[in-house]
Amino acid sequence: MSKKILVFVESKDGKLRNVSFEALTVAKQLADGGEVIAAIFGTGATEFIQDISQYGPDKVYVLEDEALSIYTTDAYVQALGQLIEEVKAEIILLGHTAIGKDLAPRVAARLGAGLISDCTGVNLENGEIVFTRPIYAGKAFQKKVFNQGKVFATLRPNNFEIQGNLVVAEVVPFQPVIKDLRTIVKEIVRKTTSGVDLSEAKVIISGGRGVKSKEGFKPLQELADVLGGAVGASRGACDAEFCDYSLQIGQTGKVVTPDLYIACGISGAIQHLAGMSNSKVIVAINKDPEAPIFQVADYGIVGDLFEVVPLLTEEFKKVLVPC
């Protein structure tokens, strides 16, 4: 059952996204003697070929069109659709990122293909590819098998092991025909300028309404800095204007799967759990011993976050920061 698998490789701020390496590793495992094709878009795309080659694709298609230098739905949908038809890919993998979520369903609909979104597992079982995805805000998991036609799948970041597999991939330039663009991006102004990307962070320190103010987030940021992590928030904290909505985690915010998630002053509403319950280790700090967050936590600390968080920062500093 050898397959032709295309991986849409995504870059952000001049760096390839980790989820693309996860997708290449998954593609390599599924190909079963078939072909793995990586596709990279945008001016300067050739710079990434060496990095991509470390994850074992047979071919790297490079689409260096000026119209692809900044993501627009119009241009990328046309280019990816044409590339898939050219290479006759049967399985198309993308990250479940803002771009992947926008692009995959549109191209799939144009090509009359299926789509399985937000996969947390992809396995070969008895010769069939089984995709696993969470449903009902993460309360249950659904397994899906596709047995005819093309299929698109978006992979949730931080859920798949990355394995290097250095090859000399064949590099193929591809020129798509891009026309009738309705959107031109003139400038990108970022709200958050620095720090670790929340959706790919290995450690997240998240604050809720219990943080009480903007200033209340400072000790959380200090802990995040010591652990090399990012700060997140509940919607309660965002609604109270303690922080920006770009930090919101949950059903209507970002979905994250870090190695360590520390929830500070967050009650654990189902909508919040939908965004973080797949984290590998969850620590909850809450002064209410009955808070629902303790039901999903691996470790619970009943106490005042303003006492507990600085203590944790001090202890981690002793262990992690060389004197």
Binding site for ligand FAD (CB under 6 A): 208-210, 234-237, 248-253, 265-267, 269, 271-272, 275, 285-288, 291, 304-306
Q: Which is nearer to ligand FAD, 29 or 199 (CB)?
A: 199
For residue 203, the minimal CB distance to ligand FAD (Å) is 19
For residue 308, the minimal CB distance to ligand FAD (Å) is 8
Q: Which is nearer to ligand FAD, 144 or 287 (CB)?
A: 287
For residue 158, the minimal CB distance to ligand FAD (Å) is 18
Q: Which is nearer to ligand FAD, 163 or 246 (CB)?
A: 246
Q: Which is nearer to ligand FAD, 117 or 286 (CB)?
A: 286
Q: Which is nearer to ligand FAD, 70 or 137 (CB)?
A: 137
Closest residue (Cβ) to ligand FAD?
A: 250
For residue 62, the minimal CB distance to ligand FAD (Å) is 37
Q: Which is nearer to ligand FAD, 93 or 276 (CB)?
A: 276
Q: Print the SS3 string covering the chain.
A: CCCEEEEEECEECCEECHHHHHHHHHHHHHHCCCEEEEEEECCCHHHHHHHHHCECCCEEEEECCHHHCCCCHHHHHHHHHHHHHHHCCCEEEEECCHHHHHHHHHHHHHCCCEEEEEECEEEEECCEEEEEEEECCCCEEEEEECCCCCEEEEECCCCCCCCCECCCCEEEECCCCCCCCCCCCCCCCCCCCCCCCHHHCCEEEEECHHHCCCHHHHHHHHHHHHHCCEEEECHHHHHCCCCCHHHEECCCCECCCCCEEEEECCCCCHHHHHHHCCCCEEEEEECCCCCCHHHHCCEEEECCHHHHHHHHHHHHHHHHCCC
Q: Which is nearer to ligand FAD, 70 or 270 (CB)?
A: 270
For residue 137, the minimal CB distance to ligand FAD (Å) is 9
For residue 195, the minimal CB distance to ligand FAD (Å) is 20
For residue 273, the minimal CB distance to ligand FAD (Å) is 9
